[in-house]
Amino acid sequence: MSLDVEAFIRERLPLEPVVGAPEVRLHRAGPHSGLMRLADADPDFEPPYWSRPWGGGLVLARHVLDHPSLVTGRRVMDLGCGSGLVAIAAALAGAAEVVAVDVDPYAITAARLNAAANDVALSYLRGDLTRGAPPDMDLILVGDLFYARGLARRVEAFLRRCQSGGVSVLIGDPGREALPAARLRVVAEHPVVDYGDPGGAVRNAAVYALI
């Protein structure tokens, strides 16, 4: 990476309150942010899911902020953290420790900048945990990781191992095609502005628990 990614995010992605969760501010890409400059500078650049809040993360962040007892005093992991929205919401709601995890180094950078902008302390872990053992946490929050079938299968299997090992799990999703809805229980629903849809369409999203 030849570009200064932190400087690029600060300068080109304005810091704005999140629609639907205005307690959190994020650096968010717009039509003139020039994210292709990052892609041109790095042949390993992945789709910048971290550059906008997605529906599953939004519904989960909203639920955590509305029900802080879910996280207060607990060790929480945000799996597939992207922008860090869910992790930041958990920290604002009083979690004792929050670990933000993503495979994308740009996501980790964005989450770190967003956490600093919201004056919360997170820990960060880059890597794919879905093939490993359950982490030593109290709660795993998963926002919008069921957008592809192969990934969805790995994530579900990992979360079920975690639950069997005594780790609580909550999933946020706006109904992506690969979501195993028949094996989940709806905990709450909220309308969200889903930036995964063209034009930022409003749709209902839900918080789920594993059955």
Which tens digit of pLDDT belongs to each residue from 3-24?
799 999 999 999 999 999 999 9
At CA 85, angle to CA 28 and CA 165, rounded to 5? 150
CATH number at residue 25: 3.40.50.150
Q: Give me the percent of the chain exceeding a pLDDT of 70.
A: 97
Q: What's this model's pTM, rounded to 2 decimal places?
A: 0.96
Residue pLDDT, tens place only, 37-48: 999 999 999 999
Domain count, the chain: 1
Domain of 173, in residue numbers: 5-210
Does 152 have pLDDT greater than 90? yes
Spatial separation of the C-alpha atoms in residues 174 and 56, rounded to whole Å:
5
